[in-house]
Structure 1
């Protein structure tokens, strides 16, 4: 006889989310890059508003932190707005960057 464990009363909320917001990167490191990112890749199909909605929903369910990854997340056209939005809804923010040509405002 097999006994199945009971489902938890409330689903577990992840502590953090990794948000791969772009495939674009200034570098070409095909043998090192897990994301297969590069200068000719794009930002994907999600709009800035889509990302902001996802960030808001994550905060509402209890996520504590978001990590912006890519490609090179600072190359996303809405990067600044997404970071500011995450902070405004109370999330901690981490940015995983290659630190190549970091802009002063970042």
Structure 2
């Protein structure tokens, strides 16, 4: 099974995709960093005092992970794809061959 990429890897990919979409060479999105609580509190108080201008545009972007599973079952090969809350299942039923493959009798 393939490993899911780390969140930081997805963030970098998303930033690069946004930069491509808006024709920017370097993405202009902030990178969050953690700070101690003692440092965050005065910054939040100062930010609350600043008058903000009305929001003109809000962009929401996210990546949605898609999982694909392939299984050998009694009814045939089953491929199940999960995208968000949607699940799509496709089945290739077992069939009897018209002739036996030549390599079956070798060895």
TM-score by length of 2: 0.24
Task: Tell me which protein shows more helix as a share of its residues.
Answer: 2
Of Structure 1 and Structure 2, which has the larger fraction of its residues in strand?
Answer: 2
Q: Which has the larger radius of gyration?
A: 2
More contact order relative to length (CA 8 Å, sep ≥ 6):
1
- TM-score (structure 1 length as normaliser): 0.24
